[in-house]
Each structure stands twice: as C-alpha cells, then as structure tokens.
Structure 1
Amino acid sequence: MSFCSTTMLKSAVAASALIAASAQLASAEMLTMSSWVPPTHFVHTDFLVPFTEKVAEVTEGRVTVTILPAPLASPPQHWELARNGVADITWGNFTYEPERFVSLWFAEFPNAGTNAEAQSRALWQTYEAYLTDNAAFDGVKMLGVGMFGGGQLHHGTKAVTTPEDMANTKFRMGGPIQEKLLTSLGAVPVAAPATKAYEMLESGVIDGSLHTMESVVNFRLEDSLKRHTIFPNGFYDATFFVVMNGAKWDGLSAEDKAAIESISGETLSAAWGRNFDAQNPAAVEKLSAAGHEIVEASPELIAAVDVIYGEMVGEWVDAAKAAGVEDPQAMLDFYGETYQALAAQAAAPVSQ
C-alpha cells in the first residue's frame, strides 16, 4: 500500500471515529438538576455529584446530569420544578409541602430514630410497599428518599432541658409536625426553610432553631446556636426526595432506565443516609471542641414529647386515610419494624 493510500485510510478511520463520537454526543440525553444548597455543602459534594457521575458511568455516557449553578426556585418549590419539567431532576424536603405529602408525616414524628441510613432505607421500602400508587407522587419518577437521623433542639443563649424551658421561646421550624411539637410544649413556632435560619437568628426574629447537629455546622450557625438539647431517639425528623420529571423518564430507553434504577431507589436512599450518619458525629465533636453546651433532654421533657407523639399518631391516621392511604397504622408499623431491623443489623458486630 502506498504512503498516500495509508494516509488516506488513517484519515478515513479518524473521521469515522469522530463522526461516531459526534453522533453519540448528539444523541446523548443531557439532563439538568436544580439544587438549593451551596456547592460546598456535603449534600452537593458527597451525594449529588457522585450520583451524577454514576449516571454517566452506568449509561456509558448516554445520559448525563448537569447540576445548575444556581437553584431555579426556593427549596419548597423543587418538587414542582421537576413535576412541571422546569428542571429534569431536583431534590428537596417533603416537609415543605405538608398538605401534599400527608402520607409521610409519620416519618417526621419524634422517636423516628437516629441511624439515617436505616431510616432512609426503611422509608424507601415503606414507599414501595404502600405509596407508589398514591396520587401525591404522580408526575415524577422517584429516584430516592431520605431522612437525617434525628433533629434536635438548638438555642442561642440557654440550655433547654425541661418543658418549662420551652415556654414562649421562638423556634424556627419547617412543617406541621414540628409546629405541633413546639406549640404543645408552649413554644412559639416560626415557619421558614433552614436556609433562612442564620438571618432570622442574627436579626432576633427567633431564639432557636430545629436542626440536625450537622446542619448547625453546615449552615454556619455555630456562632448563633451554642446550646443544644439531645433527644436519644430524635426530637423530630424530616423526609427528603430525589425525583425526575415523569415525561423525561419515560423518554429514556429501557436500557438506560434499568441502568439508572440500579443506582437509585434503596441504593441512593442508603447513600443519602450514610452521608448524614458521617456528618452528625463530626459536628458534635466540632461543637464540643468549640465550647458549646450539649445536654440531654430531661426525663420530664422526653415524657412530654412522648405524650404529644401519641396524639400525633391518632390525628395522622385519620388525615392519611383522607389522603388515600388505605391502612396508615400498618404503614407506620411497617416503617418502625423495618427501621429497627436495619438499625440492629447496622449495629451488629462484623464477623471476622
């Protein structure tokens, strides 16, 4: 073969490869994700970014996800962003839309647990067993759910240990479960997303706020919240979602759907929980080293919360039935039993 022929052959091969690569790029499904935490937050760096990378990996580049540089709306609007296709994928807090997600209130009750991975896996299994056909979840593909391992009470100037300490104290909170808890204990609930806590504390609108321990650190509230009250099984919890626009999901190939499902569902939910399980102890250590006061709730305060819990369950069962849940008590029992089994499994010693 002549030099000229060889050169032409190499050029043709290179051109064919370039055309093939260009065709693959042109046919790739490029999805957008809206997120409302800063790019330095661990939910972004340790959860969202790895998920987008895995999507590209398991679909061999046929589907990619780009996290937008700024959120397209406030945190409470992120479910609608995905449902309406403004963003292809979003994540957010079910707590911020309580009327729509009555079915999930049970997971935000006191004593929901402190192992976030076990909680998140149990919540996913509960969703699959009881809620996949519930109308509240129409219009999206559920990719994962999550909980954060027990929220606690935080105050700027005093340690809250007894029911009397709660009287007339203003706390930022995020939903009706937290509102019911605070009101029943004599405190004053002030509704706002966690992202607003700093400015509300600095301006004196609130005295304290409800957060996980990690949230005090990751939302940079250490200078404003220096007194922390710990409930052994959590004062409350919150529920989260990662969802994709339903029509966009339907447009993916069967192969790509299967690939993405292999890294979603309980797998993605567990990853959410593991991140919180890693963050909370580190936050406690940091706050303790900085001289913060971290105290346990008194037996009297825990007992008062337990009474409120009983009232919540009764009220929620009726509300959940009205929201289309056939047997709310069975769903609550299923979550509790599943969580306990998973938490015990996580605590069991590893055999050598």
Structure 2
Amino acid sequence: MTRNFRTTTALAAALLITTAGASAAQNLTMSSWVPSTHFLHTDFFAPFAAQIAEVTEGRVTVTILPAPLGNPAQHWELARTGVADITWGNFTYEPERFVSLWFAEFPNAGTDAEAQSVALWRTYQAHLADLPVFDGVEMLAVGLFGGGQLHHGATQMLTPADIAGQKFRMGGPIQERLLTELGAVPVAAPATRAYEMLESGVIDGSLHTMESVVNFRLEDALTHHTIFPEGLYDAAFFVVMNSARWDSIAPADQAAIEAIAGETLSATWGRQFDAQNPAATEALAAAGHTIAQASPELIGAVDTIYDAMVADWIVAATEAGVPDPATVLGYYVETYAALTAR
C-alpha cells in the first residue's frame, strides 16, 4: 500500500525519535460501490473519512476511490485480502459465508434503523465476533436499514394472491425464500441493476427500502408500494478494514478510531436511514404513488414463513459453528426492543 508522508524528512525523523514504535502517517484506500451522489457517500462515508483524519491529527487519512474495485459481493474479500484497506457491503451477498447473520434479515426485524444497527452491533460483539468467518478484518460497523418493503410497477400487492406469479428483484436468500413461498418469482440482482431490469420487463417489481426507490432513481418505474409495519425483510451491512492495515496503525490512533467506530458508527448508519426513509415516503406520496398497508392475510402469511425460517436457521447456524443460535436471535430481539422502548 502507498504511504502518504505529509511532513518533511526532518520532522519525520523527529517524530520517529519521540514516538517510538508508532506507525508512520498513512493513507488508507476505501472501495465503495454506490455513486458519489448517494447519501451513504456524502453523509456517511465521506464524513467518517474526515473524522478519521481529525481524530488522528492527520496521521491516518482515507481516500475513497472514484470507482469500486469489484462488484458489491466481492467487497468483503477485497478488504480481507488487502486489495482495498476499507470496504463495505451486504453480508448476505455471500450467504454461505455469513449464515451466522441471516437472522438479521428475517421479516419483522424492525423499522427503527438506529436501534436495529446498535442491537446488531451488540449482538455481533457478544456472540459472533470470535467466529473464524470474521478473521482477517477489523469490524468498524454493522448496520440495518429500517425494513425493506414490496414495490411494483403497475398494481398494488396487498394479498398473497396479488403477489403470486409476479417477478421481483431480490438480493439474498432470505428475500428469495420469502418471495418463493409467497408464490412470486424471485430474480437475483443487486439494487443497482433494478432500473434496467424494470425498464426491460425482466421484473415486475423489486424489494427495497423506501429511500432506495428514490436514491436509486426508481420512482418512475415503481409506483405502488406495500408497507409491512415491522418490515418485510432487512439487509445486514458491514464496514470493515483489512486486519494487517489495522495492526499497522499506532495504538493511540487505533483507540481514536475505535471511539468513532463500533457502536457509534453503527448508530450513525441507522440514523441516516431513519432520516431517509420517511422523507422518501413523503416524496413518493406527493408524487401520486399508491402507498398501502399489507393486508392481515399477507402479514399472516409472512409470519408463518418467518417461523419456519427461524427453525431452519437454528439448524444451519449450528452447523456453521454458532454455539447457540436461539440465544443469538433472542439477544438481538430483546436488545432492539429495549432500545426502541426508550
């Protein structure tokens, strides 16, 4: 990795004398796969990069690359192998690797993204951080997005009968199972491809948060929105740094970064979505979109699928090395409930 020396040779020598064992000033590269106009770039990643420089007094800086170094599903591996120093992505873009976190994407995970994200961080720290699957990276934050909903381009989806046979874009195994068991046809693709697939007729609808409909500029293609009060599904995200690069940072600067990362950064992630989702809902309603609550029949059908998902996940997570999956899920649910009760 390239190091960025911002001092003169004489000053660098002085620093080496006065800070024995400390790492030299360094620049970290970050690969991100959303455009620079997306709110996650402007309101989350860019400010976090600026904070790192501030709290380390310029000894550690972050350059967000102008283009991603791979597709979204490759970003964990890009960080783990050191191709990029920092990356972010969705855990279940690699579903077999991250079976331990499937529970966070189940239906009814909640619609308070800040509370969700903090609950997931605490669950990760308490029950999952020591699993071998997380080796090779330093976890900087985790996050959820406040409940994904169901969106269609032509008509309202209120009952299981409405959904049957309709083709929906989805992004992971939880969404795939939901759609399949509701009688829909799941089509796997990242959110960044939704517009072209809708325009070409490959799909009839797509699964997104409300903000994603606006931020991925899908409002002309998705005009009917079905709302599940506790979310139809969710998506679990990570922000990670390559472990070797983390270890190369001086302990004092590691401590400074830790103070603005972890639970603090996870909460910040959630707050972004808590601001974006209601604003998007208001904008879509003002544009004349149809926004309706899912029928009790549809919610009941999803609840039945959820119960089966939990039972199957406990078996799969146990096989993946999670010591007590039921306790992990219970800890998340209880933590989220306590946070939202405040």
TM-score band w.r.t. shorter chain: over 0.9
Report deviation, 1:276.
0.3
CA distance in 2, matches of 1:125, 1:44: 25
2:151 match: secondary structure: strand
Partner of residue 60, structure 2: 63
Report the counterpart of residue 298 of structure 2 in structure 1. Answer: 301
Which residue does the alignment assign to 2:317? 320
1:221-257, Cα deviation, whole Å (9 max, x unpaired)? 0000000000000000000000000111111111111
Instruction: Give the superposition deviation at 1:21.
Output: 5.5
1:214 equivalent in alignment to 2:234: no
1:131-170 pair list within 5 angstroms? 131-170=128-167
TM-score (norm 1): 0.92
Per the TM alignment, residue 339 of structure 1 is displaced from its structure 2 partner at its CA by 0.3
Rounded to whole Å, the distance in 2 between the matches of 1:46 and 1:214 is 14
Structure 2 residue aligned with 1:9? none
The Cα RMSD (Å) is 1.4
1:88 equivalent to 2:79? Answer: no
The one-letter code matched in structure 2 to 1:247 is A
Q: Which residue of 2 aligns with 1:191?
A: 188
Residue 196 of structure 1 and its aligned partner are, at CA, apart by: 0.7
How many angstroms apart in 1 are the aligned matches of 2:97 and 2:106? 17
Select the residue among 83, 99, 106 that pairs with 1:102: 99
Determine helix, strand or coil for the equivalent of 2:61: strand
| Aligned-residue offset at 1:18 | 5.3
Q: How many percent identity over aligned positions?
A: 73
Select which of 109, 114, 121 maps to 2:111: 114
SS of alignment partner, residue 243 of structure 1: strand
- How many residues matched? 329
Instruction: Kindly provide the amino acid, as one letter, of the partner of residue 319 in structure 1.
Output: A
Secondary structure of 1:91's aligned partner: strand
> What letter corresponds to residue 184 of structure 2 in structure 1?
A
For 1:259 and 1:156, the matched residues in 2 are separated by 47
Cα distance in 2 for residues equivalent to 1:111 and 1:314: 15
Aligned residue among 174, 177, 188 for 1:177 = 174
**Matches of 1:208 and 1:222, distance apart in 2:** 12
Other structure's SS at 2:339 match: helix
Aligned amino acid, residue 248 of structure 1: R
User: In structure 1, what is the Cα distance between the partners aligned to 2:10 and 2:267?
Assistant: 38
For residues 291-327 of structure 1, what are the alpha-carbon distances to aligned partners after superposition, in whole Å with 9 as ceiling and x for unaligned?
0000100000000000000000000000000111000
Counterpart residue number, 2:232: 235
Between the aligned partners of 1:56 and 1:31, the Cα distance in structure 2 is 11
Counterpart secondary structure, 2:156: coil
SS across alignment from 1:27: coil
1-side partners of 2:129 and 2:102: how far apart? 16
Q: Which amino acid letter does the alignment assign opposite residue 123 of structure 1?
A: L
- Could you say which residue in structure 2 is the equivalent of 1:11? none
Between the aligned partners of 1:207 and 1:315, the Cα distance in structure 2 is: 29
Code of the residue aligned with 1:333 in structure 2: it is G
Which aligned pairs between 1:268-287 and structure 2 lie closer than 5 A?
268-287=265-284
Q: 1:42 aligns with which of 39, 42, 46?
A: 39
Q: Give distance in 2, aligned partners of 1:155 and 1:325.
A: 37
Unmatched tracts of structure 1, length 5 or more: 1-16, 346-352
- The gaps in structure 2 that reach 5 residues or longer are 1-6, 16-22
Task: Give the partner amino acid of 2:191.
Answer: A
State the match for 2:250 in structure 1. 253
SS at match of 1:70: coil
Give the CA deviation at 1:27: 3.0
What displacement does 1:95 show?
1.8
The code of the aligned residue for 1:124 comes to W
Match of 2:19 in 1: none
Please give the secondary structure, in 2, of the residue aligned with 1:72: coil
Separation of aligned partners in 2, 1:30 and 1:125: 29
The TM-score, its normalising length taken from structure 2, stands at 0.94
Q: Hey, what does 1:5 align to over in structure 2?
A: none
Hey, what's the Cα distance between the residues in 2 that align with 1:18 and 1:259? 24
Could you tell me how far apart the structure 2 residues matched to 1:319 and 1:224 are?
Answer: 37
Deviation per CA, 1:189-222: give whole Å up to 9, x if none: 0000111101111110000000000000000000
Residues 296 and 248 (structure 1), Cα distance of their counterparts in 2 relative to 1, 3 Å cut: same
Secondary structure, in 3 states, of the residue corresponding to 1:161?
A: coil
Find the counterpart in structure 2 of residue 265 from structure 1.
Answer: 262
The one-letter amino acid paired with 2:161 is E
1:22 to partner: Cα distance: 6.4
- The one-letter code matched in structure 1 to 2:124 is Y
